Structure 1
Amino acid sequence: MPATKARDIMTAGAECVQAHDNALDAARKMTDLGVGALPICGVNNRLVGVVTDRDIVVSVLGKGLDPAEVEMGTLAQGEAVTIGADDGADEIFSTMTRHKVRRLPVIDGTDLVGMVALADVARALDAPTSGRLIEALSTD
């Protein structure tokens, strides 16, 4: 049986929020899509980061900022952590653990093709390994 790849377990067709979109628009899009994170895309639809519902609460609302005024590009911190579409579950595990993230954009070449979440990779790994992943991401 071939190894599970990111493309096998990801949610395809990830929708971006644009870097110039505001936090209110992003929150509405998350609500409409029923997701807790969105990739942030900039010029030529290139991935510049990921915004989570927690980012909006902590970095916008928690600081008393107006969500209609805060652009998503300002929440993108450094280079986006991604995984390749053909990378295996072990590489996803390693990347999530190393960067302490629960969701990863999946890239095929330079194109965003989906998102893989902690739950997706946990289902693809054996029980002891998925347990280690959850434990690693649950600690500070």
Structure 2
Amino acid sequence: MTVKHILDEKGREVVTVSPSMGTADAVRFLADNKIGAVVVTGAGGKIAGILSERDIVRAIASRGADALSAPIYDIMTSKVTTCGESHTVNQVMELMTKGRFRHLPVEADGKLIGIISIGDVVRRRIEDVEREAEEIKAYIAS
């Protein structure tokens, strides 16, 4: 299964924020949208970074409550790993495991077209394994 299949099933809607948004506002945004990370976009919708709950926790741990008054460009992860629609579930799992992150923006022609989470990937991988098991059972039974 590929990222394209995941996005076709899940949808391609991605909420984004501006790098100048305040961290306290971003915290509320994450909570209101029930998400663990948000893609930060700059001019022309280009990916400028990603802000995750982990980024916020690290900022508060190092700066204290003052971190909440900083703009998110001060605390976001600016070096963002992305994938394309042709990436397989296994490739994406490897990227996420190596990078130790749970959210992966999907790009096509330099534009943000979706985002997938580790939950999306694990769910699809389990479906693949279950389908393979059923196919093996049917083969053995025939």
- Which bracket does the TM-score occupy, shorter chain normalised? 0.7 to 0.9
Quick one: distance in 2 between partners of 1:77 and 1:90?
A: 24
Structure 2: gaps spanning 5 or more residues: 130-142
Task: Report the aligned-residue RMSD.
Answer: 2.2
The one-letter amino acid paired with 1:120 is D
Larger Rg: 2
Q: Counterpart of 2:16? A: 16
Residue 54 of structure 1 aligns to a residue whose secondary structure is helix
Aligned to 1:101: 101
Query: TM-score, normalised to structure 1's length?
Result: 0.77
Q: CA deviation at 1:63?
A: 2.2
**Aligned equivalents of 2:125, 2:101: Cα separation in 1:** 17
Structure with more helix by fraction: 2
Report percent identity of matched pairs: 23
Q: How many residues align?
A: 125
Post-superposition, which runs of at least 4 consecutive aligned residues in structure 1 deviate over 6 A?
none
- Taking the TM superposition and a 5 Å limit, the aligned residue runs for 1:28-39 are 28-39=28-39
Is 2:92 the partner of 1:92?
yes
Question: How far apart, CA to CA, are the structure 1 residues paired with 2:68 and 2:101?
Answer: 26
Query: Shift of residue 30 of structure 1?
Result: 0.9
1:79 is matched with 79
Q: Quick one: which amino acid aligns to residue 79 of structure 1? A: K
Unmatched tracts of structure 1, length 5 or more: 130-140
On the 8 A contact 1:103/1:117 being kept in 2, the answer is yes
Any idea what SS the aligned residue of 2:27 has? helix
Rounded to whole Å, the distance in 2 between the matches of 1:61 and 1:18 is 23
Q: Deviations over 1:75-99 (max 9, x none)?
A: 2334211111221112101211221
Q: Decide whether aligned partners of structure 1 residues 79 and 62 sit closer, same or farther in structure 2, where only a CA change above 3 A counts.
A: closer
Shift of 1:45: 1.7
